[in-house]
Chains A and B, each alone.
Chain A
Amino acid sequence: MIYLQLLWSFFQIGLFSFGGGYASMRLIQNQVVTLHHWLDMTQFADIITISQMTPGPVAINSATFVGTHIAGFWGSIVATVGCVIPSCIIVIALAKIYTKYRQLDAMQAVLKGLRPAVVALIASAGLSILILSLWQGGAVSWSPASIDWICAALFAAALFILRKWKPNPIWVMVGCGILGACIFPFVG
């Protein structure tokens, strides 16, 4: 039964994730954290972090992680297959339409409609991870004591560097990780 649930969840993730990995994060969070409680928010953020550091699409990475976590080896296979099936069907169908008509006019219109949605989905996933980082999974409040100020400083510095110099994001994350390893032992 769990295999069917995994297959169906990741089928939906594959089917509705337009616009690349960042947009699919919200969809994964929706299915895996909110609907099925297979992971908590910290584990989800870990997966996103690990996915940024390893090759491969976020959706496949989380399918493997969640699948293994929930139902072992076969779970990871089932979740990955579920994630890939929609792509197979749609890509091949589109290829056939494309070779026949040489135009994807309707598809372009649909994609134009999806672009604002993609931004909104990325923004929500980003906000969830930011809140997790600043309050370390605790309750969100404005009292200064509840905020992790080191994470806040790392976030602000990283964002500044990204906006200003546009480096490869991997180096920014590695830098934050190294700083974290150096600072947190001394301040808790």
Chain B
Amino acid sequence: MAKRDLRFYWKLFSSTFTLSAFTFGGGYVIIPLMRKKFVQQYHWLEEDEMLDLTAIAQSSPGPIAVNAAIIIGYRLAGMLGALVAIVGTVLPPLIILSVISLFYQAFRANQVVANVLRGMQAGVAAVIVDVTVTMGWGVAKEKNILSILMMAAAFVATYVFNVNVAFIVLACGLIGFLCFRQKKSGEVSK
């Protein structure tokens, strides 16, 4: 384990900062990069410990990159480590988006930018529809009636009735807790 002096905190901060600043494509991309840095380069963590930490980061609510930073920082150096890692991870998007929001009005009023954004919106819609189809197909393939019904009901609730998303998440989490835990033996026989 690394010595927790100022140098260690600086290394933790600068590595989370650079990882966050140069990782495009969200939480699923940053985790393998963190593994490379903290396991293979710095040897701060063991390989299988990193796998466990990843599982926790992905199981928790909130941005996966932030979760991963918290748990790695916490594991290495307790609360202070978690804090340093969070600040390192959050600063790059905070700085970039602050600059963008300052110039947003002028930026949006520019005709070229407006055209680019208009085209990109169609692209973003396609990306999200693509993700939906892939993930929806994944759920449908399990052939679990309850899951499919929940998917349909959750969609109607949020899209048609504008139900607060928090309630939908709570309800589905509760149903999962109640129904999917006991079903384990049934699943094996399928």
Contacts and interface: CB of A to CB of B under 8 A. Distances in A.
Contacts of A138: none
Interface string B101-141: 11010001001100111111111111111111101100100
Given A64-B101, A106-B177, A173-B124, A55 B20 contact: yes
Contacts of A17: 61-63
Interface string A104-128: 1111111111111111111111110
A147 B14 CA distance: 48
A173 B130 CA distance: 13
A68 B102 CA distance: 8
Interface residues of B, number: 93
B80 interface: no
B136 to A, nearest CB: 5
B121 A57 contact: no
A88 B158 contact: no
Contact of A109 (B94, B133, B180): B180
A7 interface: no
B127 A65 contact: no
Contacts of A30: 158, 162, 164-165
A14 B158 contact: no
Interface of A: 12, 14-18, 20-22, 24-27, 30, 34-35, 45-46, 48-50, 52-61, 64-65, 68-69, 73, 76-77, 80, 83-84, 86-88, 90-92, 94-95, 98, 104-127, 129-130, 132-133, 136, 151-152, 154-156, 158-159, 162-163, 168-170, 172-181, 183-185
8 contacts: A57-B26, A58-B26, A117-B150, A117-B171, A120-B159, A130-B129, A151-B118, A170-B25
Interface of B: 20-28, 52-53, 55-57, 59-67, 70-71, 74-75, 82, 86, 90, 92-94, 96-98, 100-102, 104, 108, 111-112, 115-133, 135-136, 139, 147-148, 150-155, 157-159, 162, 164-166, 168-177, 179-181
